[in-house]
Homo-oligomer: A and B are copies of this chain.
Amino acid sequence: MRPIDIKNVKLTDPFWGRLQELVRTKMLPWQWRALNDEIPGAAKSWCIHNFRAAARLNEKRRTQPGFREPVFADPGFEVLPAQGEEADPDRFYGFVFQDTDLYKWLEAVAYSLSVHPDAELEAAADRAIGLIAAAQHPSGYLDTYYILNGMDAILTNLRSNHELYCMGHLIEAACAYYEATGKDALLKAARRFADYIYLRCGPDGDRPGFPGHEIAEMALARLYRLTGEARYLTLARLFLDRRGREPHYFDEEEKREAARRGQPWTPGGPRRHEYSQSHLPVREQREAVGHAVRAVYLYSGMADVAALTKDDSLYAACDALWHSITREKLYITGGIGGTSRGEAFSYPFDLPNDAAYAETCAAVGLVFFARRMLERAPDGEYADVMERALYNAVLSGMSLDGQSFFYVNPLEMSPEACRRDERLSHVAPSRQKWFGCACCPPNLARLIGSVAAYAFTEEEGALRLNLYIACEIKKAGLTVRVDTDMPWDGHVTLTFSGPAPEKLSLALRIPEWTDPAGVLLDCPAGVEKAARGSFVTLTGEWREGDRVSLTFPMPVRVLTADPRVRACRGKAAVARGPFVYCAEGGEPALCRLDTDRLSDIVPTPIEISGVPMAALTVPVKKALPGEALYSPYAPPQEAGASLTLIPYHAWANRGEQEMRVWLNT
């Protein structure tokens, strides 16, 4: 099955509708200003600056007789003007992968335009695309870092310098923009870059490497799907097949560079290639390791290529890696990346709550991976994990007003610890306006804008609802209206309309968070029901006025972790529906859940930043401070109290207060 074309889905959902409007009216205009360095006080993006500089250089290439290419001078991974100095309008600044922020923004704009015309946004996007085309090197190569610093060194440091990552994001944006608007200027630029890379890195190329930061694999698969051009699939597959082979391409790159500098080459530690998931051939990888964003982007690409090439050995690796994440390395929020060292997966069951990395982009990438696994098989587990990440670790990456962002999403935060414990220097107590490395905000925008493609999967004669979002779906001659109170309550009604009866197999997910025994399903007579995995499939001829109603009990759930998760021993988390809850304020570290009174917990309405949601008030016992630091074991001195829990994604919208997901028991 494939993701639904989002142009066929009209959202009417208060929850996701509000977020998409926020993306369209606030985040995208604001990010455009950020890309143009127009936000006072925020870290500079340099993104548009770099494209402008590259476009000017191309202008010289075309018009100035005797123009000479700049000779590469490695400015390092992040370049900033010297303190107190003006920026040079013709130099590259920012991170080596800075171009991608514009591509991600364009992709998000495309999704937004797919469902909501916006002339101003489209005009800005078209100007940006014009700039990108002007910045593209005559050869087709397109990375402003090398265009500005010297083309002689391109494709010499695939391990670290992100050229193929830039290409991947360019392709994603180009496909999305073409699908949304029918305009192909960006698609042409992306194809020219991909064709150039095929020449250099393809089967007969002189740079038979693979990306140090993955995304090109899934992007090329998408480009292949859109264009039917086999080269792109070949290249995606080569990028997978070359990983983890000896001699290791990245070692060879380093040796060449060392030789050029006349220095000896010494290899890094034995785990050095885990960071980029190139420590083993992909089909032999069983444990999710290394930089978490890279990892899930790779696994998504593996699933894409597996689907397109019907490669079961690749799927088997995807299954094992999925299992590694979901059984051993997944935060209850759907966050991944237990350690800030390398923004990476830690070892199995090492999921510290306060020192968590759980990067927003990594959760976004896990949603990518889950969607692809779900396209293969209607296994509810994929949807459960996708939903968990989406409603918790992804959305916590932005404030409710869409104007500030978390890069890191801990499950426990004490303002004092953040201020005084340098080991938590990666943890921010409140969201920031922008980042020098601003991968997360536009990644959020593009995922929110295309959420329907994750909620709904289809093929001819079949529609699958992975998530319940209020909307109207056009499917062949039918319109299916989905009415639902989700994510706050478990009632769903589907109403069918259309000029003529239409045969359709409709798969409906039974979420993990419901009580299956209490699920009520009511559908027209004559419709065939079948259970498969966590899905119920209704097959029949649907006609005007047909209704399906579904009720999922949405109990308050108290959860524990596998005892091997050291950080969660003796603790419990509270969840309801797709939301994991957290305490914010009320000194949660001193409280323990009164497990005898769990049935007392009921949802109550609350507004945070003007957004209505359901809070949970939980009975706790609050410890009184001890007299001595250590004292004989005895029933603790405690007082009855309660804690108000809020959905995790909504934390840090009410000032800096202690937060924790895992409550003592």
With A564-B589, A589-B569, A632-B557 known as contacts, the answer to whether A423 contacts B421 (CB < 8 A) is: no
Task: Kindly list chain B residues whose C-beta atoms are within 8 Å of the C-beta of A342.
Answer: 422
Q: For the complex, is A355 an interface residue (Cβ under 8 Å from B)?
A: yes
A302-321 near B? 1/0 per residue, CB < 8 Å:
00000000000000000000
Q: For the complex, is A628 an interface residue (Cβ under 8 Å from B)?
A: yes
Task: Kindly list chain B residues whose C-beta atoms are within 8 Å of the C-beta of A341.
Answer: 421-423
Query: Closest approach, in angstroms, between the C-beta of A630 and any C-beta of chain B?
Result: 5
- Report the bound CA distance from A327 to B628 in whole Å: 6
- Report the bound CA distance from A73 to B90 in whole Å: 41
State whether A417 touches B561 (Cβ < 8 A): no
Chain B residue, CB-CB nearest to A563: B623
> Which one of B332, B339, B564, B592 lies within 8 Å of A423 (CB-CB)?
B339
Query: Closest approach, in angstroms, between the C-beta of A412 and any C-beta of chain B?
Result: 9
Q: For the complex, is A75 an interface residue (Cβ under 8 Å from B)?
A: no
Task: Kindly list chain B residues whose C-beta atoms are within 8 Å of the C-beta of A564.
Answer: 589-590, 625-626
State whether B631 touches A559 (Cβ < 8 A): yes
Most buried by B among A332, A417, A573, A626: A626
State whether B417 touches A350 (Cβ < 8 A): yes
State whether A420 touches B347 (Cβ < 8 A): yes
- Report the bound CA distance from A573 to B633 in whole Å: 9
Task: Kindly list chain B residues whose C-beta atoms are within 8 Å of the C-beta of A326.
Answer: 629
State whether A590 touches B563 (Cβ < 8 A): yes
How many chain A residues touch B (CB < 8 A): the figure is 53
Task: Kindly list chain B residues whose C-beta atoms are within 8 Å of the C-beta of A636.
Answer: 560, 563
Chain B residue, CB-CB nearest to A422: B341
Query: Closest approach, in angstroms, between the C-beta of A122 and any C-beta of chain B?
Result: 43
State whether A570 touches B423 (Cβ < 8 A): no
Chain B residue, CB-CB nearest to A330: B629
State whether B629 touches A346 (Cβ < 8 A): no
State whether A569 touches B664 (Cβ < 8 A): yes
Q: For the complex, is A214 an interface residue (Cβ under 8 Å from B)?
A: no
- Report the bound CA distance from A426 to B590 in whole Å: 29
Query: Closest approach, in angstroms, between the C-beta of A434 and any C-beta of chain B?
Result: 23
Q: For the complex, is A558 an interface residue (Cβ under 8 Å from B)?
A: yes
List A residues 201-236 near B (Cβ within 8 Å): none
Query: Closest approach, in angstroms, between the C-beta of A350 and any C-beta of chain B?
Result: 6
Chain B residue, CB-CB nearest to A574: B633
State whether B623 touches A421 (Cβ < 8 A): no
Query: Closest approach, in angstroms, between the C-beta of A622 and any C-beta of chain B?
Result: 9
List A residues 62-114 near B (Cβ within 8 Å): none
Seen from chain A, the residues whose Cβ lies within 8 Å of a Cβ on chain B are 326-328, 330, 332, 339-342, 346-347, 350, 355, 416-417, 420-423, 557-566, 569-573, 589-590, 592, 595, 598, 623-626, 628-634, 636, 664-665
The 9 closest A-B pairs by CB, nearest first: A563-B623, A570-B570, A562-B626, A558-B633, A341-B422, A347-B420, A559-B630, A560-B633, A572-B633
Question: Told that A562-B626, A569-B664 touch, could you supply 7 new A-B pairs with CB distance under 8 A?
Answer: A328-B629, A341-B423, A346-B420, A560-B636, A564-B626, A569-B589, A598-B633
Pairs across A and B, CB under 8 Å, 24 listed: A328-B629, A330-B629, A332-B630, A339-B422, A339-B423, A346-B420, A347-B416, A347-B417, A350-B421, A423-B423, A557-B632, A558-B632, A558-B633, A559-B630, A559-B631, A560-B631, A560-B634, A560-B636, A561-B629, A562-B625, A564-B625, A569-B589, A570-B570, A573-B630
